Amino acid sequence: MIVLIGAEKGGVGKSTISSNLAVHLAHQGIDVVLVDTDGQATCARFIERREEGGIRPSVPCVQRTGDVAATLRDLSKRYQVIVVDAGGRDSREMRSAMAVANLLLTPTRASQADLETLPKVNELVSLARGLNPDLKAFAVLSMAPSNPAIREVEDARELLSQFEQLELADTVIRDRKVYRDALLGGHGVVEMTNSQARAEIQLLAQEFFEIDAPVSK
C-alpha cells in the first residue's frame, strides 16, 4: 500500500503525520518504509535522529526527488506500506506519486487561508484519477485548535463538503507541543506519554489501515 502525505501548502503537518504514521505502523509489526521526497528532508533527518538515539523499532527511510513513481512501485514489492512525505507544493514528486498511490492524505489547517488551497488539490486528484482511478483521497484537519470552543474545525467541515474529489477524514490532529518535541527527538508520539496525541495517531491509522490493537504503554 502506497500512502502519500501531500499538500499544496507548507507548514500543515505533513512530516509530522508521515513520521508518526510510519513509527506507529512499525510498532504494529507492519513492514513499513518512509520515503522523503521533500527538499527540506524533515523526515530523513527525523530518521537520522532516531537511528543515532538507538530508538526501536527502526524505520527505513529512502530519499528521492523528481519522478518517484518507479521507485514507489519497486518499494511496494518489498514493503507492506510505503509512507511518502511530499513537499508543500504542486511538484513533480507529488504528481508522480499520486499516479501510483493507493491513498492520498492531504493535511490542512482549519483556517480560511489554508482551506483556500484545497481547490488546487481537488484538481490534482481529478487529474491523477485519469491515470490512477482507484486513488482514494482524504483531507485531514491537522494542527487544529486544542480548545474545543473554537469553531474552526466545524467551519472547515462545512467548507470541505464542496470538494467532490476529497473526503474528510474523521480523525483530527490537534496542535500539540508534543508533536514538535517528538519530531526533534526522533520519537513517534505513540512512544511518549501524551495520551491525547497518541490516541490521535492510533485513530488515524485505524481509519485507513486494518489495525486492531493499539500500541500499549
pLDDT digits over 113-134, tens only?
788 888 899 999 999 999 999 9
pTM, two decimals, is 0.92
Higher pLDDT, 188 or 211: 188
Please tell me the predicted confidence (pLDDT) of residue 87: 72
Contacts of 209-217 with CB under 8 Å at 24 or more apart are 209/1, 209/25, 209/30, 209/81, 211/25, 211/28, 211/30, 213/28, 215/24, 215/27, 215/28, 215/190, 215/191, 217/190, 217/193
**Proportion of the chain above pLDDT 90, given as a percent:** 71
**Proportion of the chain above pLDDT 70, given as a percent:** 95
- Out of 54-58, 108-112, 156-160, 212-216, the most confident range is 54-58
Please tell me the predicted confidence (pLDDT) of residue 124: 94
Residue 196 confidence (pLDDT) above 50: yes
Q: Which CATH class is domain 2-208?
A: alpha beta
If you average pLDDT over every residue of the chain, what do you get? 90
What does each C-alpha distance from 56 to 49, 88, 200 come to in angstroms? 12, 29, 21
